[in-house]
Amino acid sequence: MAMKKTGRKELGIHTIVEFYGCDKSIIQDSALVEQAFRKASEISGATIVKTTFHHFNPHGISGVVVIAESHFSVHTWPEYGYAAIDFFSCSKDVDVDRAIEYLEEVLKPKHVSRLDLKRGILL
């Protein structure tokens, strides 16, 4: 993603993505979701440091892929077919668009919402 020159320097970009209408069985499978987020991180060019994913009873997953450049995270609500996804990167070399495209292929949302925020804007 190209960043507009504003005369200010930001420390990173925080991309908030919402997936609606996901396949419920997919976003309930913690092993599959973790594998998808690891692969999305690799595809983006990020450097994986560590992953941790937790399956809630009766349903839902929270997980994070800690990357050298910051983190990718997810929380799912299978009962609603919804996944809340965050990407934060302090590197312009991490291609979040590629990660999102891959996750769309795997999690199969019917609708995607996205918001990009500049973080740590230094005046």
- pLDDT tens, residue by residue, 82-117: 999 999 999 989 999 999 999 999 999 999 999 999
**Residue 34, both tokens:** 């973790």
The rounded distance, in Å, linking the Cα atoms of 84 and 74 is 6
CATH of the domain at 23: 3.60.90.10
For all residues of the chain together, what is the average pLDDT?
93
Torsion-angle region of residue 108: left (phi > 0), alpha (psi -120 to 50) or beta?
Answer: left
Distance CA(29)–CA(23), nearest Å, equals 10
pTM of the model: 0.89
pLDDT of residue 17: 98
Q: Helices 30-44 & 96-107, crossing angle to 10 degrees? A: 150
Q: Is residue 4 part of a domain?
A: no
Does 106 reside within a domain?
yes
Within-domain flag for 6 = no
- Active site residue ranges: 70, 75, 90
19 part of a folded domain: yes
For residue 30, is pLDDT > 90?
yes
5 domain-assigned: no
Q: Is residue 102 part of a domain?
A: yes
Residues of the domain holding 29: 12-119
Q: What are the residues facing 72 on neighbouring strands?
A: 65, 87
Q: What's the structural domain count of the chain? A: 1
